[in-house]
Every structure is written in C-alpha cells, then in structure tokens.
A and B are shown apart, each in its own frame.
Chain A
Amino acid sequence: MIAIYTLWLRQLKRYFRSKSRIIGSLGQPILFLVALGFGLGPVFQKAGGGNYIEFLSPGIISMSILFLAMFSGIEVIWDRQFGFLKETLVSPVPRWQIMMGRTLGGATVAIMQGVLVFAISFLVGFRMENWALFPLALVFMAMIALLFTALGTAIASVLEDMHGFQLIMNFLVMPIFFLSGALFPVENLPKVLETLVRINPLAYGVDGLRGTLGGVAQFGLFADFWIMAVIVAILIGVGSYMFNKIQV
C-alpha cells in the first residue's frame, strides 16, 4: 500500500512545485467565467433562466476538473517512454497499485483545482445558499475527477505517441465538455443533442454539482449520484485493465 501512497504523493508534489502551472491553468476558467458570465448573463436572465453566474459556475468548475484529470491520465503516454512510469512498471509493485496511486493522485490534484475555481467564482458573484450540501458537492467533484483520470489513463495505455492526443482532445474531450450542460441548460435542445447529453457521463456530474451548489439538478441528485458512481467504477476497472496490458 505504501506504493499507492508514494505515487499519490508524487502527483501532489509535482502539482505544488509548479506555481506557474497552477496559475496558468486557472486562466481559462477565469476567462470563461468572466467573459461568458458577464457576456451572456443579461441574455440568460432575460430569457428567464435566472442568474447565469449561478448556473455557469458549476459548469466551469467541472471544466477545470475535466481538463486537469484527463491530462493527468494522458501523461502516461509521455511517462511511459521518458519518465517515471517505466521505473514503476519494472518495480515489484503490482500494476493495479500503480494505477490506483496515479489515478488517486491525479484526481486529488484535479479536485484541488476545482475547489480553487469554486473560490474564484465568488469573486465573479457566485453565492452559496446551502453550505450543508457542500460535502456532497465535493463528492461530485471527486467523481468527475476520478472518472476522467481513469479515462485518460485507459486511453493513454493504448496510444503510442502524442499525436493521438490531439484527436482525443478535439473529438472526445471538447464534445464531452460542450454537451454536458456545463454552459447551457439541457432542456429544449434538438432531439439529437439531447440524446448525446443524456449519454454523456459528465452531464450527470455537472448536474449533481450544480444541484449541490445551490442550483437545480435537472436529473435529480439521486440519479446523478448513482449514475456517476457506477460509471466511475466501470472506468476504473477498464482503466486498470488497459494499464495492465501496457508493454513498453
């Protein structure tokens, strides 16, 4: 078990050591919050949607978690050839422990980022109504983080070099983000888009997060929680399996 702790700790150390990376990766969420929040806010309000900042913040928090988690997972590609991963693969530690250590570490870092963005959203006008639900909000953040770290690891276990990474970012990650209800509500969408949203795991994560942070959970918190929990469990299983198959 010390191996899991070791690898978890390593991810944290790497995150905290790079102040410029932390600040840099907060840039995009802040930009989205400010530009979209103030830009589309009046339009949204007029259309009867209410306070856009309240609606948008959970979406932006999810965005920062999504990107950082995916990236931690995908780092496996680079690490595999040039980094620390080979060292771990050749050690007597069982593969599943290596995978768990990395996944938990990557997810922890993503959650911390999410909390930072949460704090920043207060600067833009976000207000929490019911702090009692905050622990549950953290649970949703954790599930989003775990889901995408595991997914990133699974994908990275199969890719040989970084070129596939571009494809993944543009054809998988961006659609997942844009069709998750993070930026706009899911109701009244054309049938095709609505179906895509409904099969998108992130949609349930965002919805759950939104519900616990004071907004409306369209699919219901109960459904959100269980759907996310099941998908996270499946993806961790798949991720472990793919990771096990890695041959350098």
Chain B
Amino acid sequence: MEKNIIETHGLTKKYGDFTAVDSLSFNVKQGEIFAFLGPNGAGKTTTIKMLTTLTHPSSGKITINGFDPAQQQEKVRASFGIVFQDPSLDDELTAYENLDMHGMLYGVPKKERQERIEQMLKFVELWERKKDLVKHFSGGMKRRLEIARGFIHHPKILFLDEPTIGLDPQTRDHIWNYMKKLNQEEGITVFLTTHYMEEAEKVSSRIAIIDRGKIVAQGTSEELKEKTKTNTLEEAFLALTGKEIREEKVTGADAMRQNRRMWRR
C-alpha cells in the first residue's frame, strides 16, 4: 500500500475578504507525479506556498513527509526541493556557486556536495556552463539550473510552480523528461502546478483540477475524461470549469514581474 507523502485537510487561505484557497483536501502518494491543473488565479501558487512553509494557512491541516509545516518547519523544508515560478537564482554568481550555496544552506557535506553538483549539472546538461554567471543564462537554462539545484540535497519531494511557462518547446520537452527520469530513477514524488493541459497529461499520474480556490475534480486523466464524457483533457477541463475568463487578483508581485520584463532583454 502506497503511503501518502502529502496530505491536506480543509486547507484554506484568506486575504482579508478574498478567499484564495477554499478548504482543499487532497493526498499525494509517495512516488507519484501529481499535477494541480487550473486557470490563472485559481489558487495554485498560494497552495504551493502553504505546502512549502512560505505562507501560513488561514485554517486547515497539512502533513508533508509525516511532518507538520507549522510545528516542524525545518524538517519539512529539508524534505523538499522547489522550483519557483519566478527565478530565485543569484544572477551575480556562477551556476556552480548557486548550487554550492544551496548545498551549504541545506547542510550537505563538502565532498558529497561536489559530487552531487557535478551529477546534477550533467543531468540538466549545464556542466559546461558551470563557471558562467547566471545573469547570462536564458530563461530555459535558468529553469534547468533550478531543477538541478532542487535536488542537491536529495529531497523526497520536488515542487514545481508552472515549470515550463514561457519556455521554448525543446526546453519544455527536456524538463518533462527530467521530471519523469527523476521520478522513475530516484523515486521522487513530484508536485507541479500548471495551466497547460498537455503538461498535466504527459507528465502526471494524477491530476486535481482547481478553480476559484476549490478542487473541482481529481483523478487520472482517463478518469476525468470519463467523468465528463469528453475526449480530451481540455474538453474535460472546460466542462468542469466553464468558459468564462477568470478575474485575477493583481498583487505587487505581478507589477514587479511586469516591470522586470521591461528591464530585461
């Protein structure tokens, strides 16, 4: 019987009057690839932030790898690696240095660190660029580097928030392959959020469709299509969530993200 490595019960997050995440309850089994599929503003990023101890839930319970993020923060943090939607690399350091710093922060001893860095850089095919400053990397390279970084400390879970957004098809394909390989070879549980149907379908074993902060349906791609009597996941999704465009809450972060795009490239 497979164990649940992530469990939530009634997970809720409110910002003033606005309920971003409304009483989510779901499980992720150890070793599976689980996707949170939903339109923008559905509450995917907020959920990941709560699972990864960056934000406190308004109410509800979370268990990650057997630990409670509210009480045993450090143990939870050591259990996972995460690739954020916005790059969280240090642009003024080299690829190698970024990974080295991560290893030091996670308490990986020196020799093991060096081996892991080499192993992961080769895995994402960036070993030749290890001495280059990250500010000279393209978006796709940065994302690959972040995936490599997430694994330096041998976590049990990898969280990815919209991992292939804004990337070219070749890089997207590479990233999906990395996820599958890591899942198969190292038994890592992968939790990703996305609004791309093909990504959810290609990569994950189970999908939860989330809309306006609630889980609308859960199951494998086949189960969801059956439930809605549709032929593609996209149709199933639209059947479950309706065709309106979602109103998104714009945060300071979004404004900064737009500003950032102006100043880069």
What residues of chain A have their CB less than 8 Å away from a CB belonging to chain B? 2-3, 6, 10, 13-14, 17-18, 78, 81-94, 160-162, 247-248
Complex: A86 Cα to B161 Cα, angstroms = 13
B89 interface hit (Cβ, 8 Å): yes
B26 interface hit (Cβ, 8 Å): no
Complex: A247 Cα to B260 Cα, angstroms = 21
B184 interface hit (Cβ, 8 Å): no
Nearest A-chain residue to B133, judged by Cβ: A17
CB atoms of A18 and B92 under 8 A apart? yes
Q: Which residues of A contact B105 (CB under 8 A)?
A: 3, 6, 87-88, 91-93
Complex: A92 Cα to B106 Cα, angstroms = 6
Q: Which residues of B contact A89 (CB under 8 A)?
A: 54
CB atoms of B74 and A247 under 8 A apart? no
Q: Which residues of B contact A18 (CB under 8 A)?
A: 92
Interface string of B85-101 (1 = CB under 8 A from A): 01111111100010001
The winner among A18, A88, A92, A248 for most chain B CB atoms within 10 A is: A92
- In the complex, 11 of the A-B residue pairs with CB atoms within 8 angstroms, ordered by the A residue number, are A3-B105, A82-B88, A84-B90, A86-B84, A87-B88, A92-B77, A92-B78, A161-B256, A162-B256, A162-B259, A247-B49
B56 interface hit (Cβ, 8 Å): yes
Interface size on B, residues (CB 8 A): 38
B120 interface hit (Cβ, 8 Å): no
Knowing A82-B256, A90-B77, A91-B105 touch, does A247 contact B87 (C-beta < 8 A)?
Answer: no
CB-CB nearest 4 A-B residue pairs: A160-B252, A161-B252, A92-B74, A92-B77
Q: Which residues of A contact B149 (CB under 8 A)?
A: 87
Question: Which of A78, A84, A161, A247 lies in contact with B55, CB distance below 8 A?
Answer: A247
Nearest A-chain residue to B84, judged by Cβ: A86
CB atoms of A6 and B101 under 8 A apart? yes
Q: Which residues of B contact A87 (CB under 8 A)?
A: 88-89, 102, 105, 149
- A111 nearest CB across to chain B (Å): 20
Nearest A-chain residue to B54, judged by Cβ: A248
Complex: A91 Cα to B74 Cα, angstroms = 8
Q: Which residues of A contact B238 (CB under 8 A)?
A: none
| Given A2-B104, A17-B133, A82-B86, 19 new contacts (CB under 8 A) | A3-B104, A10-B93, A13-B97, A78-B256, A82-B88, A84-B88, A87-B89, A87-B102, A90-B53, A90-B54, A90-B82, A91-B105, A160-B251, A160-B252, A160-B253, A161-B253, A161-B256, A247-B54, A247-B55
Nearest B-chain residue to A9, judged by Cβ: B101
CB atoms of B93 and A161 under 8 A apart? no
Complex: A81 Cα to B92 Cα, angstroms = 16
B66 interface hit (Cβ, 8 Å): no
The winner among B82, B104, B106 for most chain A CB atoms within 10 A is: B104
Nearest B-chain residue to A98, judged by Cβ: B105
CB atoms of B52 and A90 under 8 A apart? yes
B262 interface hit (Cβ, 8 Å): no
Knowing A3-B105, A92-B74, A162-B256 touch, does A248 contact B55 (C-beta < 8 A)?
Answer: yes
Question: Which of B53, B87, B90 lies in contact with A10, CB distance below 8 A?
Answer: B90
Complex: A42 Cα to B71 Cα, angstroms = 65
- A186 nearest CB across to chain B (Å): 40
Complex: A247 Cα to B150 Cα, angstroms = 21
Question: Which of A3, A6, A81 lies in contact with B86, CB distance below 8 A?
Answer: A81
B107 interface hit (Cβ, 8 Å): yes
Q: Which residues of B contact A13 (CB under 8 A)?
A: 92-93, 97
Complex: A84 Cα to B148 Cα, angstroms = 15
B245 interface hit (Cβ, 8 Å): no
Complex: A220 Cα to B158 Cα, angstroms = 58
CB atoms of B255 and A161 under 8 A apart? yes
- B84 nearest CB across to chain A (Å): 6
Q: Which residues of B contact A91 (CB under 8 A)?
A: 77, 102, 105-106
- B191 nearest CB across to chain A (Å): 14
- A208 nearest CB across to chain B (Å): 33
Q: Which residues of B contact A248 (CB under 8 A)?
A: 49, 54-55
Nearest B-chain residue to A91, judged by Cβ: B105
Complex: A85 Cα to B91 Cα, angstroms = 12
- A32 nearest CB across to chain B (Å): 28
CB atoms of B49 and A82 under 8 A apart? no
Knowing A10-B93, A160-B252 touch, does A86 contact B77 (C-beta < 8 A)?
Answer: no
Complex: A87 Cα to B49 Cα, angstroms = 12
- B131 nearest CB across to chain A (Å): 13
Interface string of B234-263 (1 = CB under 8 A from A): 000000000000000001110111011000
Complex: A112 Cα to B253 Cα, angstroms = 33
CB atoms of A83 and B104 under 8 A apart? no
Q: Which residues of A contact B90 (CB under 8 A)?
A: 10, 14, 83-84
